[in-house]
Structure 1
Amino acid sequence: MTTARAHLTRDDLAPLAREALGRAPAAVTRLRGGSKKGVYRLALDNGRSAIAYVWSPEEDYWGPADADIRDPFAHASGLGLFLSAHDLLTELGVRTPRLLFADEDAEHLPAYAAVVEDVRGGSLEVLLRSDPGAARVPLARLAGTLGVLRECVSTGYGKAALVEEGGKPRGSSCEQVVADRAMRDIAEVAERDPRVRAVRRALAERVHELYDAVEPRDHASLVHGELGPDHVLVTEEGDPALIDIEGLMYFDAEWEHVFLQLRFGPAYDVLRTADLDEDRTALYRLAMHLNLVAGPLRLLDGDFPEREQMRDIAESNLRRVLSLLRGAS
């Protein structure tokens, strides 16, 4: 049995709130779903509210992880990555909760933290489920946002903070980085699940086959990296506001769209674009599902509280991996 972590209290967050908002919060609520950082709603006694992001080991259920910024898929967490992504998205006119304060010296908590606008319209995920008609406007505007990101290109690839600083990433191309990670995921999952162990060689051969079919490309586009409908909030004006932006990177748009199709389901038709490369898409689809098995299983090694959800994600993606392999044979 795992012991529940001690999360921050109203008293803990009071100094940060006073600096950012001018007063201590009347109440504090830790929001569900975060696995890399703590997300807290700070409710004030004047009816206003804001959101605090806290990056600390106590809030990160993934535990110690490779944080080498040269790796496009390294642990996407931290105030530095957040600020870099926020600045770039704001410059592009892409809506994200407005930054109210950043504690870059960890003066008000024993951790780096930021306070942002509380977008109270709820997530696009909830709206798609509860009122599909009302979701049409933010969904269509999200398609426009994806277009803005797609048009922001670079000759280099990798985390946005690295590329903007002129740094060099690990690897030689987007497709090579994806294929290499897929091979590591196959090895990791094979140690945990007999179904993958039985087809490990066939999966590895399929990854190599898909990788060999990809033609070189000389540019990368800006992508969120994990853009599910739960990472899109809806403003009062019906605009989509992107959250969990620390993974922002220059990469292939196909990577983003494979994830979008997986997470948005039928609603993806509004976000679909016609000019994606089929060979990259095929490689990235298999690699994405492999990673969505390996990642949740790794998270379950620790004390992440929403365990059934993680098991379901791992199992559904494992079935999809096996289905893709059967379809290729």
Structure 2
Amino acid sequence: MRRGAGVGDLSLPVREALGAGCRVVAAERLRGGSRKGVYRVHVEGAPVPSAIVYVWAAEENYWPEAGRSDGTGTFAPASGTTPFLTAQHTLAGLGVRVPEVLLADDSGRRGPGGVAVVEDIGGGTLEALLRTDPARATVTLHKLAEMLDAMHHHRARRPGRTDLPGPAADSTAPPPPTSPSCAQLVLDRALEDLGEAAGREDRIASTAGALRARLHELAARVGPRTEFGLVHGELGPDHVLVDADGHPVLIDIEGLMHFDAEWEHVFLRLRFGRHYAALAARRDLDPRRLDLYRLAQHLSLVAGPLRLLDGDFPDRTAMRGIIEHNIGEALALVP
């Protein structure tokens, strides 16, 4: 049983963020974090009644990473203060609403790993608002569409995560002739996901040859591209908070990268379902990329949750549901 962080663990960074007179009176770990712990702390003697604390530490990371080949690439696991702060700075510079950072430190002096104290938006997620107040959620969805349009039109000439050296270090320079395209990066990852899923799920294994051939066929149809937009990468309604004015606030931003906007739109369609129509105003999406990325996303959402279940991730029923749904969706895309 993982212990997680308690009031004593969180008091030092919160006091330094909110003032010496601040006292943490309660802390709760919020649901859903798999690479970092997300805690709401309730305080007294501070200008605000609560704050959110992110903790990046081994005790908070449920992912078994052994055996993955993408440890330093575009799809590398994004975790820690560096990708978080880089993404926060990039998005805020575009006028995209993200929680204000009150303190960030990865020295280990304020906890067992990296830690950040950020404002508590307090309005809940867009996912919850879509259920409880659809009319208000519709306004937020349209604001989110505008936000995404600004991100996707923030162009770079190279794909890559914003915090990693190499492609993202100088996004204005043309990529080297040997630099892999977004489609090639997705294909390579999808083939790895397919192999991993086939080793664990008989339904994938029995169709692995057809799935592999389909991935290669779809990738061969994708033409070259020389500019790439800024994408969140895992933007579901649970990764959008809603502030008091109804504005969307992006969280879980560590994987921010320049990439094909189609990669984002496939995930948006998967996660927003019937509400995706409010986010689908763009008319310049490439259907060939959408086809490849749709199959790749489904395979990722089989292999990833299976890997997560190798460990002690607590919400196992939800992960199994994701696996089952995406097995069906992936197999349905094989002619």
TM-score by shorter chain over 0.5: yes
**Distance change >3 Å, CA 240–CA 52, structure 1 → 2:** same
Q: Which residue of 2 aligns with 1:91?
A: 93
Does the Cα contact within 8 Å between 2:158 and 2:168 map onto a contact in 1? Answer: no
Tell me how far apart the structure 2 counterparts of residues 88 and 207 of structure 1 sit (CA, whole Å): 33
Q: Which residue of 2 aligns with 1:324?
A: 333
Tell me how far apart the structure 1 counterparts of residues 194 and 71 of structure 2 sit (CA, whole Å): 23
2:198 to 186, 190, 198: 190
Counterparts of 1:1-329 in structure 2, within 5 Å, are 4-22=1-19, 23-46=22-45, 48-64=49-65, 70-162=72-164, 163-166=167-170, 172-272=180-280, 273-325=282-334, 329=335
Which blocks of at least 5 consecutive residues in structure 1 are unaligned? none
Does the Cα contact within 8 Å between 1:97 and 1:116 map onto a contact in 2? Answer: yes
Deviations along 1:249-292, one digit per CA (max 9) or x if unpaired, are 00000000000000001110010022100000000000000000
Tell me how far apart the structure 2 counterparts of residues 274 and 161 of structure 1 sit (CA, whole Å): 30
Does the Cα contact within 8 Å between 1:70 and 1:158 map onto a contact in 2? Answer: no
Q: Which runs of 4+ in 1 moved over 2 A?
A: 63-70, 162-171
In structure 2, give the amino acid aligned to 1:33: G
- Structure 1 residue 104: Cα displacement: 3.2
Tell me how far apart the structure 1 counterparts of residues 106 and 76 of structure 2 sit (CA, whole Å): 21
Does the Cα contact within 8 Å between 1:207 and 1:283 map onto a contact in 2? Answer: yes
Single out whichever of 175-184 and 22-31 deviates more from structure 2. 22-31
- Structure 1 residue 160: Cα displacement: 1.1
Does the Cα contact within 8 Å between 1:174 and 1:251 map onto a contact in 2? Answer: yes
Classify the secondary structure of the residue corresponding to 2:333: helix
- Structure 1 residue 165: Cα displacement: 2.4
Tell me how far apart the structure 2 counterparts of residues 105 and 20 of structure 1 sit (CA, whole Å): 15
**Distance change >3 Å, CA 125–CA 67, structure 1 → 2:** farther
Classify the secondary structure of the residue corresponding to 2:104: strand
Does the Cα contact within 8 Å between 1:255 and 1:281 map onto a contact in 2? Answer: yes
- Structure 1 residue 67: Cα displacement: 9.5
What is the aligned-residue RMSD (CA, Å)?
Answer: 1.7
In structure 2, give the amino acid aligned to 1:165: A
TM-score, reference length from structure 2: 0.93
**Distance change >3 Å, CA 67–CA 41, structure 1 → 2:** farther
Q: Identity of aligned pairs, percent?
A: 51
Tell me how far apart the structure 1 counterparts of residues 309 and 239 of structure 2 sit (CA, whole Å): 22
Tell me how far apart the structure 2 counterparts of residues 55 and 99 of structure 1 sit (CA, whole Å): 15
In structure 1, give the amino acid aligned to 2:10: L
Deviations along 1:8-38, one digit per CA (max 9) or x if unpaired, are 1101111111111112311111111000000
Does the Cα contact within 8 Å between 1:42 and 1:49 map onto a contact in 2? Answer: yes
Task: State the number of aligned residues.
Answer: 323
Classify the secondary structure of the residue corresponding to 2:8: helix
Deviations along 1:205-250, one digit per CA (max 9) or x if unpaired, are 0000000000100111100000000000000011000000000000
Deviations along 1:21-67, one digit per CA (max 9) or x if unpaired, are 11231111111100000001111125611000000011000034669
Classify the secondary structure of the residue corresponding to 1:261: helix
Higher helix share: 1
Single out whichever of 41-50 and 302-311 deviates more from structure 2. 41-50
Classify the secondary structure of the residue corresponding to 1:250: strand
In structure 1, give the amino acid aligned to 2:194: I
**Distance change >3 Å, CA 77–CA 112, structure 1 → 2:** same
In structure 1, give the amino acid aligned to 2:298: H
Which blocks of at least 5 consecutive residues in structure 2 are unaligned? none
